[in-house]
Amino acid sequence: MASFSVSLALLHHPSLSKSLKAFASLSQLKQAHAHHRLRPPSPLYLHSSSRLRRLSPFHDIVYAISIFQNIHNPSLFMYNTMFRALSHHPNRYSLSIQYYKRLLVHGFIPDKFTFSFLDALQECRFVECDDQWVCTYGRVEEARKLFDEMPERDVASWSGMISGYAQCGMCVEALMVFKDMVEVAIVVPNEPALVSAVSACAQLRALEEGVWLHNYIVENKFFIDVVLGTVLVDMYGKCGCIERAVRVFNSMIERNVLSWNSMIAGLAMNGCGRQGLSLFWKMQQVGAAPNELTFIALFSGCSHSGLVDEGIRLFDLMTQNYCIRPQAEHYGSIVDLLGRAGLIKEALKLVESMPIEPHPELWGALVNACSIHGDVELGKKLGKRLLELDPQHSGRYALLSNILAAAQRWDDVETVRNLLKDRKVSKLPGNSVVEWQLLGK
């Protein structure tokens, strides 16, 4: 009995793995579970319950399901934990579909972990059960065939198809399905469908369709919560309509770090670096903690607005005050900031002193800086190194060729072009503006 009391006490240990390892058997863990059900619920214990299948050595899926079904408002993390547990039991994939539909109905947006666990159920990247399906990252054409063959489609089916297209980058198709849903089938969309449709507009930089969607949301009195508000801010920022992005952001009742990041990134990509900095100081004043992506957006704004000193101070703030460890993207942003300002040698010194291996994009930023500021010799030297690191990227050859052409070094230009041909490097396809008449608005 004494050992069980010790185990029970350890359930509240700050280390979750140590808490669960304190129980020698599943029966002892169930006994503790029963004990706690007779007492007021502990937040730590509920958190432990949601991670039971992942961390415990007992692998009792029936017990895990019983716990999950008694959680009234499971989080996305809890859903993903159950998907992971069920992925080890293919005979229960129908239950995964039920949980997935419940997740959508309750307004959660599936993430990469959701789909990775669902993918483990079947290799075919979509799951069919009782005329219901989940469309994830691949084979979306087959998912569409199943969708078209369904005698009846509920809101979860429409939402899944729209989300599947958007996840696969087939954004025109996502918007066409959304319009069929609301204009032909007359089905009222749920929030995941709206979020996926707005996200598709953001990916396409399709302002006209984005405004139409926003008007649809307002006219039909959908509540713009933190998720929907954030994706609207992101869409307007990427479409270059920063005034609308600011209006949506200011009207949001609740904001999370993604909301702040989207607004700061929108200001950055529209040349409003100083306004992005002001918003960041406001973010700190209200107590919202920035993350790695916040600083990437800030560095981008500083880079495009020539705010070198501010960018350097932000880098120090990130590492010293917020103890965020710089990743390749952070170093790349600072290198771009220095390079655009003509501080190429300082940027090169930073690259050479980095504690992580420089990636090709970082070297590309340096070569681009040499091109902007006419440093042909350093540009040629770094350009050759870039070709060695990324020999199958045609843009690297074009960048070096342009530097040499600007200096009228035609023999060197010819050498680079011949190298491109000899290595049989494919040229990257260009992107064209989407013609929205395809949507038949």
Of these ranges, 284-288, 384-388, 417-421, 426-430, the one predicted with the greatest mean pLDDT is 284-288
Mean pLDDT of 159-180: 91
> Does residue 101 lie within any of the structural domains?
yes
Residue 279 binned pLDDT confidence (cut-offs 50, 70, 90): very high
pLDDT of 102: 76
pLDDT of 137: 42
> Does residue 64 lie within any of the structural domains?
yes
> Does residue 47 lie within any of the structural domains?
yes
Residue 154 binned pLDDT confidence (cut-offs 50, 70, 90): confident
State how far the Cα of 306 lies from the Cα of 240, in Å rounded to an integer. 20
More confident residue, 17 or 195: 195
Antiparallel, parallel or unpaired: β 132-135 and 126-129: antiparallel
> Does residue 411 lie within any of the structural domains?
no
The 3-state DSSP class for residue 129 equals: strand
Q: Which two tokens stand for residue 339?
A: 């390079």
State how far the Cα of 401 lies from the Cα of 386, in Å rounded to an integer. 13
DSSP output for 300-312: HHHHHHT-HHHHH
Q: Is the pLDDT reported for residue 41 higher than 60?
A: no
Look up the domain containing 46 and give its range. 28-152
The 3-state DSSP class for residue 14 equals: coil
Q: Are the CB atoms for 204 and 171 separated by under 8 Å?
A: yes
Question: What single DSSP character describes residue 222?
Answer: -
> Does residue 69 lie within any of the structural domains?
yes
More confident residue, 55 or 290: 290
The 3-state DSSP class for residue 134 equals: strand
**Percent of the chain predicted with pLDDT > 90:** 37
Lowest mean pLDDT among 17-26, 263-272, 365-374, 377-386: 17-26
Mean pLDDT of 79-105: 76
Of these ranges, 47-61, 75-89, 126-140, 185-199, the one predicted with the greatest mean pLDDT is 185-199
Q: Are the CB atoms for 267 and 242 separated by under 8 Å?
A: yes
pLDDT of 376: 87
Identity of the amino acid at 126: F
> Taking Cα atoms as reference points, which of 181, 131, 135 lies closest to residue 152?
131
> Does residue 145 lie within any of the structural domains?
yes
**Percent of the chain predicted with pLDDT > 70:** 74
pLDDT of 1: 44
Identity of the amino acid at 119: D
Residue 404 binned pLDDT confidence (cut-offs 50, 70, 90): confident
pLDDT of 268: 95
Give 120-149 pLDDT, tens digit per residue.
554 333 443 333 344 544 467 777 887 888
For the chain, what is the domain count? 1
The 3-state DSSP class for residue 2 equals: helix
State how far the Cα of 172 lies from the Cα of 83, in Å rounded to an integer. 30
Give 174-194 pLDDT, tens digit per residue.
999 999 999 999 999 999 999
More confident residue, 268 or 109: 268
Average model confidence (pLDDT) across the chain: 79
> Does residue 11 lie within any of the structural domains?
no
> Does residue 2 lie within any of the structural domains?
no
Q: Is the pLDDT reported for residue 104 higher than 60?
A: yes
The distance between the two most distant Cα atoms of the chain, rounded to a whole number of Å, is 87
